[in-house]
Amino acid sequence: MKSLITLLLVVLLSIVVVFLIQVYPLDKSPWAALSVSILVNLLTTPLFAVLVEFCYNLNRFPLRCKTLWYWNKEVRLSISYLFRIQVNGKYLLVKNRKRDYYQLVGGAYKAFDSAKETFKKYKVTPDKQFATSHGIAKSDLRFMVPGRYVLRMLDWFHSQRQRETSQWREFCEELLTTDILDKHLFRYVDYTYACAVQAPMRWAKRLPNQEILLFEIYDLLPNTEQQAALEQLFAAGETAQVKWASRSLIQTLGTDHERETTAYEIGPHTKWAVNEEWSDD
């Protein structure tokens, strides 16, 4: 992408230089033309770098402005992944382990010990609302960071360095260790990346901070035996831990408007994952 932007800018500025030379002809001497050419390159090279970086990050400009406003204030980042698992047009949901609602299978990524220096450099602190008996959030990528470092930490995440890159752990914890699915049959699973959904920086619902929520969405690709097991789970019906939600039910976050009842609460990030876009729910 950056290479394409650079090429386009080079072509554009070259056309401008040629046009100016035609309008204001230089001395016939080739040395004069060469000198002008060298001068133009010396002057435009830094400009190219600035323009390319600006164009490449244009979509992040509103976020950059907002993080500058919160320069010294803590901003919460929560970075997770979710699995879309479908049977007969309905999505498999599981009960959230901390709150009373249902969601797609998935959870927060984790950082490795090697990320400690990066976290120290950018003044990252744990998100205390996820304290557990084993410590605060157990290295989950739910943390607080000064506004001036928000984009640096998002870039760090996208670099895939010093952090978990597999999505297997939450699949195992939520479906296999709970005996919802057979451990042996699902010991290996295939899945494909669908998209990423990032909510805009806004006030957190339970903290006096701005926050950014980022979800990577994956689609499970079951083999023949795994598909049969999922269909068997579907036929067994819903339980306190497992629900099968239609797309329309997810759109209303669990409310049946025809009967004016709420079957169960569905986390809004489930709706974002199904629609592949953030909405203000």
Q: Tell me the one-letter amino acid at 268.
A: P
Mean pLDDT of 248-274: 87
Report the half-sphere exposure of 185 (CA within 13 A, side-chain side): 14
Structural tokens at position 103: 């969601």
Q: Are residues 137 and 46 in the same domain?
A: no
Q: Are residues 51 and 184 in the same domain?
A: no
Domain of residue 12 covers 2-56
Q: Are residues 214 and 151 in the same domain?
A: yes
**Domains of the chain: total:** 2
Whether residue 280 lies inside any domain: the answer is: no
Helix axes 150-159, 61-69, angle to 10 degrees: 130
- pLDDT above 90 for 153: yes
Among 17, 32, 56, the domain boundary falls at 56
Q: Are residues 51 and 100 in the same domain?
A: no
Among 32, 56, 80, the domain boundary falls at 56
Q: Are residues 216 and 255 in the same domain?
A: yes
Q: Are residues 32 and 91 in the same domain?
A: no
Q: Are residues 105 and 146 in the same domain?
A: yes
- pLDDT above 80 for 149: yes
Whether residue 11 lies inside any domain: the answer is: yes
Name residue 76's beta-bridge partners. Answer: 144, 211
Q: Are residues 157 and 256 in the same domain?
A: yes
Whether residue 248 lies inside any domain: the answer is: yes
Contact predicate 102/94, CB 8 Å = yes
Q: Are residues 150 and 186 in the same domain?
A: yes
Among 37, 56, 75, the domain boundary falls at 56
235-260 pLDDT per residue, tens: 999 999 999 999 999 999 998 766 66
What pLDDT shows up at residue 128?
72
Question: Chain-wide mean pLDDT for the chain?
Answer: 85
Whether residue 281 lies inside any domain: the answer is: no
What pLDDT shows up at residue 2?
55
Does the pTM surpass 0.75? The reply is: yes
Whether residue 17 lies inside any domain: the answer is: yes
- pLDDT above 60 for 186: yes
Fill in the DSSP letter of residue 162.
T
Q: Where are the beta strands (DSSP E) in the chain?
A: 74-84, 86-87, 90-95, 102-108, 125-126, 131-132, 135-136, 142-146, 190-198, 202-203, 210-221, 242-245, 255-256, 261-262
Q: Are residues 128 and 264 in the same domain?
A: yes
Q: Are residues 51 and 152 in the same domain?
A: no
What pLDDT shows up at residue 135?
44
What pLDDT shows up at residue 133?
45
Q: Are residues 150 and 191 in the same domain?
A: yes
**Of the candidates 68, 75, 79, 72, the residue with the CA atom closest to the CA atom of residue 209:** 75
